[in-house]
């Protein structure tokens, strides 16, 4: 079961910053998850929202700023304000990284799980994403995920070898199950909301060779329950917690104990 660090170790450090990614790897994550948007001058940057107001002091859209303007913003202080118990002085003043900076920093020492966010806002984002994957020598170490079927199908047409994960909002297992045969035509797996995962959905996906990577689970009992359902990976804001659950699971399996 893969340990996907959702926005990095975003439960303990400001999401999508180097400290969050550094910590995720140190805590045992198998994949660093990125959300990408595109600046006005066409650079892919890692942050979750299309607007900057939640994680910086600016209220603009990412698409309206140049990279220089975006990287002048402080993307760490909000975390110190929101989570005083986890605040650290070094988080103040953290920059929003470009996707290329992330790829260059960790290189082949990490695996990447990149989401094309709001692709309708950013024509050409799929081409630029693939260009960076190739330029940084990361083909085979990067998964691409999206809620947008159009973005996934476009990426598949550009590079049929790159593994894709189709994300699903909370719609219920039966609705997701209906889409699986079509999804299997271009994707390697699905990312349903964890509350939508049941045994039948996991089996139906596996019957079509689709991996199941539920999002986003932070409670230990939830991680264990998904493991018992046979999912192939889990998105979590607490990769250290999931790493401990997986270690315990392997030990128990080694001695023939259930779960």
Query: How do 2-5 and 44-46 pair as beta strands?
Result: unpaired
CB of 215 to Ca ion, least distance (A): 7
C-alpha distance across the termini of the chain, in Å: 13
Among 37, 48, 194, 215, the one annotated catalytic: 48
Give yes or no: 213 in active site: no
- The interface with Ca ion within residues 159-178 (CB under 5 A) comprises none
Q: How many CB atoms lie within 10 A of CB 178?
A: 12
35 binds Ca ion (CB under 5 A): yes
Q: Which stretch binds Ca ion (CB under 5 A): 61-69, 112-120, 129-137, 153-161?
A: 112-120
118 binds Ca ion (CB under 5 A): no
115 binds Ca ion (CB under 5 A): yes
Among 6, 16, 156, 194, the one annotated catalytic: 6
Kindly tell me which of 115 and 232 has the beta carbon lying closer to Ca ion.
Answer: 115
Kindly tell me which of 152 and 204 has the beta carbon lying closer to Ca ion.
Answer: 152
Kindly tell me which of 115 and 126 has the beta carbon lying closer to Ca ion.
Answer: 115
Please give the C-alpha separations between residue 209 and each of 88, 98, 153, 173, 185, in angstroms, as whole numbers.
44, 33, 18, 17, 11
CB of 216 to Ca ion, least distance (A): 8
Q: What is the DSSP string of 41-105?
A: TS-EEE-S-SBSTTTSS--SBGGGS-HHHHTTS-SSHHHHHH-GGG--GGGTTPPPPBHHHHHHH
Q: Which stretch binds Ca ion (CB under 5 A): 114-122, 175-183, 198-206, 248-256?
A: 114-122
15 binds Ca ion (CB under 5 A): no
Tokens describing residue 176: 């997701």
- Number of shown-chain residues binding Ca ion (CB under 5 A): 2
Give yes or no: 206 in active site: no
The distance between the two most distant Cα atoms of the chain, rounded to a whole number of Å, is: 57
Task: Determine the Cα–Cα distance for residues 21 and 4; give it in Å rounded to an integer.
Answer: 11
Q: Just list the catalytic residues.
A: 6, 48
Write out the residues near Ca ion by the rule CB under 5 A: 35, 115
């Amino acid at each position: 079961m893969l340990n996907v660090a959702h926005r990095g170790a975003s439960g303990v450090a400001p999401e999508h910053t180097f400290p969050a990614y550094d910590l995720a790897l140190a805590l045992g994550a198998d994949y660093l998850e990125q959300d990408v948007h595109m600046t006005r001058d066409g650079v892919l940057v890692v942050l979750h929202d299309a607007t900057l107001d939640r994680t910086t002091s600016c209220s603009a859209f990412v698409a309206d700023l140049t990279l220089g303007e975006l990287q002048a913003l402080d993307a760490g202080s909000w975390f110190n304000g929101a989570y005083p118990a986890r605040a650290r002085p070094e988080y103040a003043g953290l920059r929003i990284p470009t996707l290329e900076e992330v790829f260059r920093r960790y290189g082949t020492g990490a695996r990447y799980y990149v989401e094309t966010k709001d692709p309708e806002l950013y024509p050409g984002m799929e081409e630029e994403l693939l260009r960076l994957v190739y330029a940084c020598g990361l083909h085979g170490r990067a998964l691409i995920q999206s809620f947008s079927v159009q973005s996934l199908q476009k990426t598949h047409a550009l590079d049929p070898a790159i593994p894709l994960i189709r994300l699903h909002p909370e719609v219920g297992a039966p609705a997701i199950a209906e889409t699986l045969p079509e999804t299997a035509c271009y994707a390697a797996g699905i990312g349903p909301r964890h509350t939508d995962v049941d045994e039948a959905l996991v089996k139906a996906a596996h019957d079509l060779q689709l991996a199941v990577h539920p999002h986003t689970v932070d409670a230990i009992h939830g991680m264990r329950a998904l493991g018992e359902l046979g999912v192939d990976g889990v998105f979590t804001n607490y990769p250290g917690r999931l790493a401990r659950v997986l270690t315990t699971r392997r030990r128990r399996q080694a001695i023939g104990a259930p779960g």
